[in-house]
Amino acid sequence: MSDEAISRRLKMLLQEDDLVEIYLANYGENINIAHIKELKENATTLIASFKAHKPIKRESPVESIGIGDDPIYEATLICPVCKERNVTSYNLRAKSQFITENHFLVPLYAGIGKYRKENFTKLATTVCQNCLFASPDPKDFSKFIEYTEKFQDSQLKIHPKLLFHLEDTTSERLGFLRAHDIFDPQFLRPRTTEVAILSIRLSIMRAELEQEHDLRNTKYKIGAYNLKIAQLQKESGIDNVETLKIAAELMESAVINSDCNSFDLEMQALYLTIALNIKLRNKDKISGYMKVMKDIEMEVAEELKQNQENIKYKQKFATMEQWEKRAKTALEYRDEEEYWANV
Ligand SMILES: [Zn+2]
């Protein structure tokens, strides 16, 4: 169907020009009756919000209701901060999704076999509904392992001052959520893009406190959270340049401050610094960090030369090669708009 035919058909189904625009901004050109129905049901609110130039991303629960088996299963975790015992976490069933990644290493999902597609980026963050402690890492929470009846404590337990600080800042998180007009602060499924982004922002608030308490790898973590937000914004047609800029600064700072806790992550941070600056068209930074990449290559090659038979240096060299190759590909395609269109 041509663009014009799609608009005509949407006009016929939705009756209102504003709704047609809202539809196209949210769902693109695939006509889906479930989305049409949802928009019509919420027409008054949506048009009012659209006219006031407010964000219109209140997409509905229908998004997760598709054809195929549910790839998600739930688990119950315990909050390490307020001890809430009924925190719901969502997990992907093994082999239920084919996972690729975008140029900024954010996973992209597609259903495998009988399973339907699930944009797991929206569900990956577990949020305590009581104190709003949030993390995509289940090990940050405590849990009961049923078959052994053993309690497994949060990995943050070794940082009691951080946990105390997290408890102490609960009102800040509650205030943050209150400032956003969210009807359902339970963070249960299905999550709209808006709620998913808030869950990630709560994770950022946690990681910023980790940074204050000198835990390592926080810059990369916060940068990667921002890249997930940027991807969700992109998918919803929201401008994501500011979010990408924040991520670029964090990745750069992770490289400069050697904040990463493994060589692999250090190389990822360097690759992301290069790729993000290509997207953001910061030419000076690109050549500077390609030079850093080259220096690391020489250093790692020299290390391997000195330790020919050592598997550790072989692996390190392979890791370096992998990320350097990706950086070179990104550089090669720097002027191809198509290549960067989906990030
Ligand atoms: Zn809690």
User: Are residue 200 and residue 98 in the same domain, yes or no?
Assistant: yes
Dist. CA 128 → ligand 1 center (Å)? 5
Q: Which residues of the chain have pLDDT under 50?
A: 54-64
122 shares its domain with 208: yes
Domain boundary pick from 215, 247, 273: 215
**Ligand 1 mean position to 161 CA, how many Å?**
16
CA of 274 to the centre of ligand 1 (A): 37
Q: Which two tokens stand for residue 330?
A: 């990104």
286 Cβ neighbours under 8 A, 6+ residues apart: 274, 277, 278, 331, 334
Is 220 a member of any domain?
Answer: no
DSSP notation for 37-86: HHHHHTHHHHHHHHHTT-------GGGG--SSB--EEEEEEB-TTT--S-
pLDDT at position 292 is 96
Which of these three, 187, 215, 243, is where a domain ends?
A: 215
Residues 245 and 206 in one domain: no
CA distance 177 to 199: 10
**Ligand 1 centre and the CA of 199: distance in Å?**
14
- Looking at the fold, whether 184 and 306 belong to one and the same domain comes out as no
Residue 275 CB coordination number (10 Å): 26
What pLDDT is attached to residue 66? 66
Q: What is the CA radius of gyration of the chain?
A: 22
Give the number of other CB atoms < 10 A from CB of residue 271: 24
Q: Are 197 and 75 contained in the same domain?
A: yes
Query: How far apart are the CA of 239 and the centre of ligand 1, in A?
Result: 32
Whole-number Å distance between alpha carbons of 39 and 63: 12
Both tokens of 266, joined, read 């250090």
In a domain, 302, yes or no: yes
Q: Number of structural domains, the chain?
A: 3
Asked, for residue 226, whether it belongs to a domain, the answer is no
Verify that 148 and 207 share a domain, yes or no: yes
For residue 224, being part of any structural domain is answered with no
Contact call for residues 142 and 155 (beta carbons, < 8 A):
no
Does residue 106 fall inside a structural domain? Answer: yes
Tell whether 159 is covered by a domain. Answer: yes
The two tokens of residue 93 are 């069933």
Among 167, 185, 215, the domain-final residue is: 215
- Domain presence at residue 257: yes
Establish if 222 belongs to a structural domain.
no
- How many angstroms does the Cα of residue 44 sit away from the middle of ligand 1? 36
Residues 252 and 285 in one domain: yes
**Residue 28 is part of which domain span?**
3-56
Ligand 1 centroid distance, CA of 261 (Å):
27
108 phi, psi to nearest 5 deg: -120, 140
Same domain, 206 and 277: no
**What was the pLDDT predicted at 54?**
43
Separation of CA 169 and ligand 1 centre (Å)? 11
Q: Quote the ligand 1 centre to 148 CA distance (angstroms).
A: 24
Beta bridge mates, 142: 78
How far lies 135's CA from each of 80, 88, 200, in Å?
11, 12, 8
Quick one: 36 and 127 in the same domain? no
Measured distance CA(185)–CA(132) in Å, rounded: 9
Q: How far apart are CA 225 and CA 203, in angstroms?
A: 8
Inter-residue contact 107 to 228 (CB < 8 Å): no
Q: Which of 93, 122, 236 is nearest to 187 (CA)?
A: 122
- Residue 134 sits in the same domain as residue 192: yes
64 CA → ligand 1 middle, Å:
26
Burial call 206-227: b when 16+ CB within 10 Å, e when fewer:
bbebbbeeebbbbbbbbbbbbb
Q: What is the DSSP letter of 151?
A: E
Do residues 98 and 11 both lie within one domain? no
Predicted model pTM: 0.80
67 and 206 co-located in one domain: yes
Q: For residue 62, report the distance from its CA to the centre of ligand 1, in Å.
A: 29
Residues shown for the chain: 343
Distance CA 50, CA 44 (A): 10
* Centre of ligand 1 from the C-alpha of residue 265, in Å: 29
Ligand 1 centre and the CA of 74: distance in Å? Answer: 18
